[in-house]
Structure 1
C-alpha cells in the first residue's frame, strides 16, 4: 500500500527568497556576516556557532540558536534564511522506501523548482539518494529522469537541504525531538549513506556538488564518512580525477554497456567520452584500491545487454580496476520500450561475474510502486504541468467548437 501526503496549498507561497546560509563555506559565511555589520573580531566565533546550529543540531529557525544574542538573531532573520524546502508531496512505498517531492524558491528571475529525493531503509543502514540538478541533459534512453529536460543546476544549499530535510523527517539530529509528522524516532534508522544518484549529472554541476559534499563530510558539520558518500557519473571524464582529489568520496560509474556502439545509444555522453577514455580515468581515480573500489552500475535490459557474451566483455573491460558491479534489474516506467531481463538471466550473468572474481550483487528493486527506484525519478511537477497543458488544450478545443 502506498501512502501519499500532499503539502497544504497555503504553504506554497511561503518559500523565502532571502539568501540562505545553508551551503556556504566557512569563508563565505564569515563574509556574509561581515557584510551585514558583524564586528571583525566576532566573525570566527559567530561562524562557528552558526555552523554548529545548522549542521550538528539541525535547526531551521534562527530563534533556536540559543547562544547567539537576540540582536544578532534579529539581524540574521532580517537578511537571511535557513528554511527547509517545502515538501510538496511525500510518498511511502510498501517496502518502506520514502520519496519526497521538494519545492525550492525561485532563483533570480526563475520560477520555483521541484526535485525528488529518496530514502531507502535497510538493515543497519539508511541510504539517501540526492538530486544535483532539476531534470537532466544526458537523455539516457532507459532512464525516466532523462525524459525531463534540464531546468537548472541545484545550488549547494539545495543539495544539502535534501539531507537536512530527510534527517528532520527521520528524527535524525542529536538532542532534537522528532518533528511533528516525523517518520521515525531518533533511536531507529538514520541517514548513514549518501548517494548522488538522483536527478541530474553531478559532474555537470561541479562546484555546487563539491561544496555540498565537503560540508556533508566536514567533521564539525554533518560528519558523514567520505567512504559512505558515493558520487555517480555517467562518464564526465575530465572531472573524475578532480572530484576524487578534492572530495575523496567513493565513485560509481553508470556503465550499462561494454562497447561504444551500444553505450552510445544507452548513455549518449559516451559519444563525447568513449569507453577507452572512461576506463583510463577510472584506473587513475585517486585513492583507488581493493578497499576503495569503484562501483559500476549495470542495468539489466532484456535482449539488449544481458547475454553471457556481454558478461565476458564486461570482465575484460574492467580488468585491472578494483571494482564492484551492481546489477540493476530494469525498473519499468510509462512509455519505455525496454523490458527487464528475466531473473534467471540476471542470476546467470551475476554468477559469471562472481566466478571471474568480481562482486556482483543484484540490487533489490526498491520503491517501484512510487516510481522511486533507480532510473525512475522525475519530478511530479513536470508531470502535472503536462496534465495541466492537456486540460487547457481540451478546454480551448471545446470552447472553439461551441462558437
Structure 2
C-alpha cells in the first residue's frame, strides 16, 4: 500500500510538472524557405535571447524556460524588416500562425484569448486613428465651406466611436497584462479640427505622452516606452535646416529625460538607445550633447566605456570628424595627409584598377580636378600587386597616388572602413570630413554649388 501511495504521488508530481511546462507553437503559411526561429524577451530597450529552434515544413515549437517572466516576447524568423511576431506571455501556452510575407497584419492566435483580444485592439485602433488623421489632413486642404462642415461632422462621429472603442477595450482587458499597453496606446485627439498643420503638430507633441505612465512596471519591462521615445524624438521633430533640426532633437531629448524622474536604470537604457540611434545617422553633435549632458552624469556603475568606444568607432568617419591619418613614401620622403597644405579642399578616393566602376569614374574625376588648384586629390589604389597601378598612374600625374597593397586587408583601408570602390571623402583645409559623395556626379555638384 505504501508503495502504491508513493507511486501515485510520483505520477501526480510528474503530471503537475508536465502541466506547468508552457510553450509557443506556430505555423508559417506559406512555409517558404525559412529554417530557424528565435525567441526573445523584450525588456526595456533590449531583446534578451531565450532560445532558437528549427522550422520544419513551416512549423515550430519552443518551450518556455521554467519561471520565464510574463511580458512581451518576440519570435524572429528573419533579419529583414518586419521578420518577426510579438506576443504577450502570461503563463499560458500559445499557438499561432501567420504569413511570413506580412506577419504583423496576418498573425492569428489559435489559443490565448488575451493575445487575440490585444491583436484585435491593435488592428482596429490603428484603423480608427488613420481615419481621424485622414479627416484632419483633408480639412487642411478643403476650401469649400459645405465640405468642411461635412468633414467636421464626420470627425465628431468617428472621434466618439474611437473613444467608446477605447473605453470598451480598457474594460474588457482589466484583468489582462495587455491592459497596460492598451491604456498607453490611447492617443489624444482634440474635439475640434485644426486649421493649420503647425497647430496640429504642436498639439501632437504637447499631448504625445498624455496616457503613458513612465512608472508602470509592465511598460518598463517591455520595449513599449523605448519605441514611443524613438517615435517622439525622430518623427515628431523635423526640419530641413540642419541647425534647427539638431535644436529640435536636443529639446525633445531633454523633454523625454525629464519624464523619467530619478529612474537611473531606465535613463541609462534610453540614453544607450539614443546614442546608438544617433550613431546610425552619424549625428556627432547629438552624440556629444547626450554624452556631455546626460550619460557622463549617470552613476559610474551604469556607464559603459566599451559601449562609448564602439559609438566613437561608428562615427569616426562622420561628417565633421577629422579624417584618419594616411602615411606614404614619396621620393624617399615620408608624407602625411594631416601635414598637407597645398589646397583648400582635398578629395580622398579609394579605387582599384580592377574595378570597372572606378575605371569609368576616375578619368572623369581627374578631368574635373586637374585644373583646379584649390582641390587636391589623394588616390588610394587597392591592389594585389603594383603592375596595374604603375601602368595607370601616368594618367593621373597631378594627383597624389598611393599604392595600397593587400587590397581589403590594407590597414588604411580597414581604418577607413572601405567596403566598396570607388569610395570618396571630401575634406577641408584642416582635413575634416565635409562630405561623403557616392558618385563622381555628387562630387561635381558639391563643388559647383
- TM (normalized to structure 1)? 0.26
> Which protein has greater RCO, CA pairs closer than 8 Å, 6+ apart?
1
